[in-house]
Structure 1
Amino acid sequence: MGKEIIGHGTWLDKVALLVIEREKRLGRAPSPLKVESGLGASGFPHLGSLADAVRAYGVKLAMENLGRKAEYVAFSDDMDGLRKVPRGLPKSLEEHLGKPVTSIPDPFGCHGSYGEHMSSLLLDALDKCGVEYKFVSATGAYKRGLFVKQIEEVLKNAERVGRIIREELSQEKYTEVLPYFPVCSNCERIYTTRALEWLPKERKVRYVCEGAEIKGRWIEGCKHEGEADYARGEGKLSWKVEFAA
């Protein structure tokens, strides 16, 4: 028995129709059409986290109601660094500030990492709500090399990307640095590094771990200089370009 579709004529139907019509204009016919939302993995999920996922799932249902095959992808942003220790968790996690959340031990001891634990809480809520999804871990996707082509396209056009971000968001940062965060091979932090140079033949990015201000607090870098292999998931795109990738 199929799911009952409610809310015909809402913004969900409008978005679904706009996407379908755009794909036709571009001469593309992907099947299934994919609808994606990001799942934050750096803290406890809340109602807003669930709402983001449910809205995306609603667009997926609207596409199916228009006769197209569709799939909802729940993409966990679990390569993001820990910016602060959530209330109620041990202060000992402060030593891991700036590290990807999948590189941090699970303080509850029941999952492979802090990030995996936080993702599981939201996935459990989606299961209980009857939301059907394909789960994708950012950490796993980067390690499998799924973003290699997109990373190279972004780095090849880094100056243009920086100009677009400046024009659209009034942020100058990416006119000065590459929109890529290497993971420091020495201290394992991601937000304290600065990408210095793209090495296309080696598929690497040269970086220095110099430190960064995170949530109003300065996190000192270890001063290590190295090269991150982006084909092996040793870093990630900044979210502003990752969203497009």
Structure 2
Amino acid sequence: MPDARFDPFGGDSTMPRDSLSQTGRRILPRVIATGFTAAFLGDERTLREFVAGDLVARRSRTLGEVPVLTLINDSYDPLTERQLRVGVDKDPELIRQFTPFCGRPIAEIPDPYGCHGSYSDHFIEALVERLKRLDIHPVVLDTYQAYHRGSYAHYVSATLANYRRIQELLSESCHDYSATCSTCSARNASASMGLRSSRSSPGRWRIAAHAAASTRGRTRARCAAS
């Protein structure tokens, strides 16, 4: 994995917190955020966002600002069968081996080529290497690691504590929250069955979720939990 990482919510950081201009005036970095779900490498069409972000960063630098281009890897996203086919270049044997992993976060799935620690690590490194050839050098943020470090804990806790109120404020067009099934780890067909605060970890919440079959028939039942 690339070494350039930082925690946007505190802790060790490679991103400059602030800098001093030539006049001694303290300036804050301007963060330009881009994102990708590293489930496959893709083609030139996946580069548009990063090229645009890099252009903004370069322009910002000419204006005397301190730009930081970030690449947020949505590694908690579940792998889909379409992504798998693209990721393994339609290799029938790899598709057969890895189809059972579909629905699980890509950070928890083995590298199909056996050269990295996870499925996500393999493709994010390939993407970063491709960007380097274009002289684009983003700071990589890994959402799976951020969640497990507790970087989002405060925000998740506040969201769940005010769940009903938020539902009232959000429009019906917003995407639903998807929980991870506690039995089979699937996310793409799970339904929240209950919510309670964790006694052992104040400020943390536990969600009882079950991965049921999709009503559209696109996802098989992932586990036998009821």
TM over 0.5, shorter chain: yes
Query: Does residue 192 of structure 2 align to residue 187 of structure 1?
Result: no
Q: Aligned runs of 1:67-216 on 2, under 5 Å? A: 67-84=64-81, 85-87=84-86, 88-89=90-91, 90-91=94-95, 92-163=97-168, 165-167=170-172, 170=173, 174=176, 179-182=177-180, 184-202=181-199, 203-213=204-214
Structure 2 residues without counterparts, runs of 5 or longer: 1-25
- The answer on whether the counterparts of 2:196 and 2:205 sit within 8 Å (CA) in structure 1 is yes
Give the TM-score normalised by the residue count of structure 1: 0.68
> Residue deviations 1:127-169, cap 9 Å, x none?
11111221111111111111112212322333354455535xx
Q: CA 1:61 to 1:163, structure 2 compared with 1: closer, same or farther past 3 Å? A: farther
Query: What number of residue pairs does the alignment pair up?
Result: 189
Q: CA 1:64 to 1:220, structure 2 compared with 1: closer, same or farther past 3 Å? A: same
Query: Does residue 56 of structure 2 align to residue 51 of structure 1?
Result: no
Query: Does residue 220 of structure 2 align to residue 219 of structure 1?
Result: yes
Q: Give the distance between the partners of 2:67 and 2:140, measured in 1 at CA.
A: 15
Secondary structure of 1:135's partner? Answer: strand
Q: CA 1:185 to 1:198, structure 2 compared with 1: closer, same or farther past 3 Å? A: closer
Question: Which letter does structure 2 place at the counterpart of 1:80?
Answer: D
- The answer on whether the counterparts of 1:40 and 1:49 sit within 8 Å (CA) in structure 2 is no
Partner of 2:5: none
CA RMSD between the two structures: 2.6
- The answer on whether the counterparts of 1:196 and 1:205 sit within 8 Å (CA) in structure 2 is no
Question: Which letter does structure 1 place at the counterpart of 2:48?
Answer: A
**Structure holding more helix per residue:** 1
- The answer on whether the counterparts of 1:45 and 1:118 sit within 8 Å (CA) in structure 2 is no
> Residue deviations 1:98-123, cap 9 Å, x none?
01111111111111111111111111
Give the TM-score normalised by the residue count of structure 2: 0.73
- The answer on whether the counterparts of 1:195 and 1:205 sit within 8 Å (CA) in structure 2 is no
Q: Give the distance between the partners of 2:71 and 2:121, measured in 1 at CA.
A: 13
- The answer on whether the counterparts of 1:208 and 1:223 sit within 8 Å (CA) in structure 2 is no
- The answer on whether the counterparts of 1:98 and 1:219 sit within 8 Å (CA) in structure 2 is no
Deviation at 1:224, TM superposition (A): 3.4
Structure 1 residues without counterparts, runs of 5 or longer: 1-28, 226-245
> Residue deviations 1:28-69, cap 9 Å, x none?
x97212111112212232212211112112222222222221
Q: Give the distance between the partners of 2:45 and 2:158, measured in 1 at CA.
A: 33
Question: Which letter does structure 2 place at the counterpart of 1:86?
Answer: R
